[in-house]
Chain A
């Protein structure tokens, strides 16, 4: 039901693209006549009034922003469709954060309000307001009539007026010819419009030039409407608000449709921060129900039924929260966007968002109106309040030592400037993707990438995608859509359909429906929107997690690329080399053709990777790096491991430097072999020997008896009864009192808890089976020179 209208919208031809038409006509006659069709305001999305804010950011932020952008590409599952949109948003975000960090003096902080009195008006969260579009807005039309004039007599007066449903002009009942007694029911169209419809030239009464109301300016794109989402005062005393834009139908990708009402607006999912300066005054945007019952006389009443997704150009009905909570099934189609009618709309004057108050308010609000932060259908709100009130000392001015720099650059999270040692594989991936998308036909293909963890599989693919995306931005390569999925992050394997569909279209549907829709798109070739003919690259990390009993998920996904016009490219990543062979033949034949192996790094490569990260930082001895990389290469060839070892070594060194007063703090402290050795010890060695050494006395006897029993019988498994006898033998022959069976059992269970001994539960008492979890040599080594029990060695 909710979906029908938007679908119709999408199929209509787009008028809006061609012409940036002349600025708005000033004469009243034309103004009422022209049906506005252009997409005049679209420039807003690229340069919103937030320039005020962005201009404050320094050059350094821009650098940071770029970094953010890059990262963003790797995280946001779906990038190239409209890169500049996400970018502006991201930039805004980054800059706002920066603005926070840059200029906040220590004691002051942002103060959030529920309601603000500003410039004579009161604005609360959840209110709808007009926003000036330009700085010079005030000059062009100096007056801002709040009350509409009659079209005929140009007076305001107190008499009843009727509004034409066509041109939205107001008419005094008595001015009409013939005059009306009362406001008529149903539609009413003024004589001028009727005449125009009939094809006649109709001259409007020419009086003085009539002034445009804010409503008209809005509907002709000279003003914007916005819903306030939050209000705050910056440190410098200026008031800001975060607003969600409304747009008029002309600004949507589909343009104005015949069924659009004159006063209809769309709410977008586009949010921006603005200064309160820009706010003109209130307007009222209502749902159809409210609109029907509305008593506001004014001119500033609008209707909003749908939400418009600026990224995917799709429409969704704004569902009522109440409905949504009652009916979960429907909620899958109707996204809940009325999140602002929640607790925050009830307001007292200037409540500070101090902790206690806020908590009270949140709890006190009725459950029907409260919207949880964690269930916003994948979108989270209200997180902007998390920010620290005070920028920590260490972030602002902290001169990093070499060691700290080294630690920071060795972090796994830090993205290296270049990726050494994987050029060949990356070239192969690039060639594969380019070959797939540059083809005119774009045949679907499959690539299976395998390799042990920490060999840079995902990172290589993502870095290839980044370079490709910059090529797309530069216009060298055709645009494509990119979806990244991690098998382990899906609740069930079937959920993958839903995630793919959401990434491609922005709609949330159940997985079964998503499967049908995806089938339509990929195998039957039914494209429902204009972006669908782009090639789609699907990256599935941890592919082995998608294996179900019937293996239908994998089959479906790998079957799509074989269809003639699917334009789907699947890249699967997993650890096991022989995953295709383990699967059903019909799947392995689809997947196993093109494979790429990421071999474990050898020590030279690891050394290069570490060296590349540590370039310019003098913190490590050369042999230390080589030692670490050789050690890791011998065990697993996992680059993450190698980096972690080096970081741990640096940490140990740092710890030593900071704790000791004898070492000069300014002097250079190079990480040497001993630190790396210690880090390797910590990482690779199980701590059981130390624990055995520090066992209680009887625990040691217990272990010795285990070993003795093992040597005597040659069986690794023994029962508690036999063991207890051995222990009592050992005790009596060496002058220790036998502790009693129950104590002994308790000791055994303790050892079993830390898995030095594998044992059954203690309830089976003398029949309890016991087994050493570590080689007996380890036990003898650990107990060899214990001071209090020198006789133990005899028995081992």
Chain B
């Protein structure tokens, strides 16, 4: 019996995970209303396909709000709706911000799309001529070419040759193309040069993080298991009733609020759900509130504090010394001045932790590696002892860290408070 249940639970977890990782599943929830970005975008693109016109669209919004996911959904639908009439060229600003390589990539994808031979040797001129010829040829054949430029802001560096030639090619009757720029920078269209901006048709779609009600809806949509699946029906029933209970629970709403207080995007919420699902105990096969709580704590890591937790005593000493120097309004300090401070502390309090200079230097280097402290200057010719450094951790944070560190000597806490 329990074995059967465990199998069912495993299957359910796999199902939930695939759902969470599948953006098409997630964003199809929000497609139905006419206000959604999905239907707006689909209308613009499909009308450009059917009416044979050129358009350029910018999808803006913070990261993790589903710009690419919605776009993919739209493209998938359109490819189904108008087979053989659309070819999609995808570029990414991180990979193809250089005009030369971008246009080569366009030529390559066009070649693959239309089963032509592609030569790596072709020059910039050849490739751009090829692109223009292809655009004309596709236009005559009633084919729409859709250019998706991810990280659009990175294409707007330099002379913007690529954007200019793309948008200028779209000024002719025979071409039939849609340029879709995707960017998380809200001022992406301001980055365009005047003559490029004038050719851009400035359709803008804004993607915003979801509201709280949407998150609730989404959680329900994802977590409730389907009744018509291969899972045993009584298990599904039990699982679903448990989920509905938890979702109605005030404590869970609190948890979700806490999560979305800092970051309310889709991607963050999905990451949270994924880890919550991963915490399911396969023996019982049911979700509990604790799963969500531990998921929240894995999401909300405090890397600097965690770092302080594992610091050695000597490292803590060094940081406290640096803090004391800063309190004394000594703006610039280096290893030597820190050592002097360390000596005075040792002399005045007679601590047991007296280490030699070379050991201290090693600890100092460790701190540098962990980026708890940082060189203030860019000079590389000096040796480490003489270069001025800065503490990268705030005093209050350091204090909190000392408290959480179990091996921290009492004298250090006292020094910190003074």
Contacts and interface: CB of A to CB of B under 8 A. Distances in A.
A767 interface: yes
Nearest to B123: A491
B392 interface: yes
Contacts of B264: 694-697
Contact of A686 (B44, B51, B190): B190
Contacts of A791: none
Contact of B206 (A495, A659, A691): A691
B54 interface: yes
A755 B185 contact: yes
B305 interface: yes
Nearest to B376: A767
A394 B51 CA distance: 8
Contact of B168 (A388, A486, A688, A698): A486
Nearest to B302: A742
Contact of B129 (A380, A394, A682, A743): A380
Interface string B158-182: 0101001100101111110000000
Interface stretch (A47-55, A202-210, A412-420, A586-594): A412-420
B117 A371 contact: yes
Contact of B184 (A75, A370, A753): A753
B208 A691 contact: yes
Given A371-B117, A488-B161, A686 B142 contact: no
A413 B392 contact: no
Contacts, number: 257
B125 A378 contact: yes
Interface string B47-79: 100111110000011110000000000000000
Nearest to B107: A374
Interface in A557-594: 575
Nearest to A767: B390
Nearest to B175: A413
Contact of A386 (B50, B143, B168, B396): B143
A85 to B, nearest CB: 19
Contact of B115 (A358, A488, A545, A686): A358
Contact of A413 (B128, B172, B197, B206): B172
Contact of B186 (A386, A641, A686, A763): A686
Interface residues on A, range: 35 or more
A687 interface: yes
B386 interface: no
A741 B115 contact: no
A743 B304 contact: no
A765 B392 contact: yes
Contacts of A359: 115
A374 B53 contact: no
Contacts of B374: 764, 767
Contacts of A372: 111, 116-119, 121-122
A682 B114 CA distance: 36
Contacts of A755: 185-187
A18 interface: no
A694 B140 contact: no
A217 B362 CA distance: 96
B383 interface: no
Interface string A12-30: 0000000000000000000
A489 interface: yes
Interface in A711-755: 721, 724, 728, 739-743, 746-747, 750, 753-755
Indicate the member of A386, A454, A490, A741 with the most B CB atoms within 10 Å: A386
A375 B122 contact: yes
Interface stretch (A156-164, A270-278, A296-304, A648-656): A648-656
A642 B202 CA distance: 11
B165 to A, nearest CB: 5
A407 B201 CA distance: 13
Interface in A675-699: 682-683, 686-688, 690-691, 694-699
A182 interface: no
A790 interface: no
Contact of A575 (B39, B173, B195, B204): B195
B185 A71 contact: no
B125 A495 contact: yes
Interface string A390-405: 1110110010000010
A388 B161 CA distance: 30
A374 B111 contact: yes
A474 interface: no
B45 to A, nearest CB: 12
A699 B50 CA distance: 42
B119 A453 contact: no
Contact of B305 (A641, A697, A739, A742): A742
B127 interface: yes
A343 B174 CA distance: 30
A202 to B, nearest CB: 56
Contact of A71 (B114, B172, B186): B172
Interface stretch (B237-245, B255-263, B408-416): B255-263
Nearest to B117: A372
A742 B62 contact: no
Interface stretch (B131-139, B222-230, B350-358): B131-139
Contact of A362 (B117, B202, B397): B117
B85 A392 contact: yes
B209 to A, nearest CB: 6
B392 A764 contact: yes
A366 B393 CA distance: 63
Contacts of B397: 741
A750 B195 CA distance: 31
A532 interface: no
A658 B34 CA distance: 10
Given A374-B118, A767-B390, A411 B124 contact: no
A327 interface: no
A177 interface: no
Contact of B392 (A382, A414, A489, A767): A767
B99 to A, nearest CB: 9
B50 A753 contact: no
Contacts of B195: 453, 488, 542, 575
A487 B245 CA distance: 66
12 contacts: A71-B172, A372-B121, A374-B107, A380-B129, A385-B114, A413-B172, A491-B100, A641-B198, A698-B262, A747-B262, A755-B185, A763-B371
Given A358-B115, A374-B107, A388-B143, 6 more contacts: A373-B116, A374-B110, A388-B141, A453-B199, A542-B195, A695-B264
Which A-B residue pairs are the 5 nearest by beta carbons? A372-B119, A373-B116, A453-B198, A375-B122, A491-B124
